[in-house]
Every structure is written in C-alpha cells, then in structure tokens.
Amino acid sequence: MIILLYILQAITLTFISWTVGLLLNNAIKLRTFYGRISHLNFIKNDVLSKSIGLSKFGWIIKNSFFRVFNKNLNLKSRPNRDDLQRLRTEMVYAEIGHLIGFVFLLSVIVIKLWNGLFLSALILLLFNIIFNLYPTLLQQQNKTRIDDILR
C-alpha cells in the first residue's frame, strides 16, 4: 500500500515539475543566456543513446497518448528551413522545460533522502528519469538532427 502511495505522489510531483518547468522556462526564455543553453547536448555518442534505449523511448512517445502533450512538435508536411527552425525553437523550449523539471525533482529527491524516505526517493527518481530526463535527451537528439539538416 505504501508503494502505491509513493507512486501516486511521484505522479503528482511529476506533473508539478512540468508546471514549474513551464513557468520558469517562460520567465527565462527572453534572457541572454537562454541562447547559450539552447545548444546543450548531454549525449554526443549514438551508441550510448541506443544503449540507454532513447530510440525506443522516442518510438513510445510517437505511438502513444504522450504525443498529444505538445502538438507544436509535429510536422504536417515536408518542412522548409523556416519550419525546421520553428520546430527547433519548440524543441528547445520543451527541452529546457523538462530540464528545469528534472532539477526541481532532484531537489525534492535530496530532501526525501535527507529525511530517510529512501523508497519514495527511488520511485521519484525513476519517474524523474522517465518523464523529465529522457524527454530532455530525446529533444537534444532530435535538435541535433535538425541542426545537421540546417547546416
């Protein structure tokens, strides 16, 4: 029963992290450093991205209800350069939002560990990886593919 409560708490905190990411992202998107962080790329190795299952995660996102969360990340027809640049901007926005959410939940995880709630922290860490870190990494991978096309 306690595990179920921890899972429900992790779901709730994940949605809260998305909201925090959205709000903070809106607050910083016009700052000068935003352009610098728009070029983040944590995984530069295709072998590593495949070994952690990033392509499978991308397939799940494209073929599940998660694809409806951000309709701005879809292309309806063959894109031109402007479409790709717009898509890249939307990807950066989604990436930074998830990254902010990831850091927010990491702080909650540290507090849980400090208070000895190890199982709760572990479950929240798993949710944080799946729902914030992997989307960040996927956006970075897709953004890199767009950058290669735009060059």
**Phi and psi, residue 80, nearest 5°:** -100, -175
Q: What is the pLDDT of residues 92-122, one digit of tens each?
A: 999 999 999 999 999 999 999 999 999 999 9
Percent of the chain with pLDDT over 70: 93
Is the model more confident about 23 or about 59? 23
Q: What is the CB-side half-sphere exposure of residue 69 using CA atoms within 13 A?
A: 16
With contact defined as beta carbons under 8 Å apart, do 24 and 37 qualify? no
What pLDDT shows up at residue 8?
98
Q: What's the pLDDT score for residue 73?
A: 66
- Give tens-digit pLDDT for 36-93: 888 888 888 888 988 898 989 888 888 887 766 666 666 677 878 888 899 898 999 9
Average predicted confidence (pLDDT) for the chain:
91
Q: How far apart are CA 117 and CA 16, in angstroms?
A: 19
Q: What are the structural domain ranges in the chain?
A: 2-150
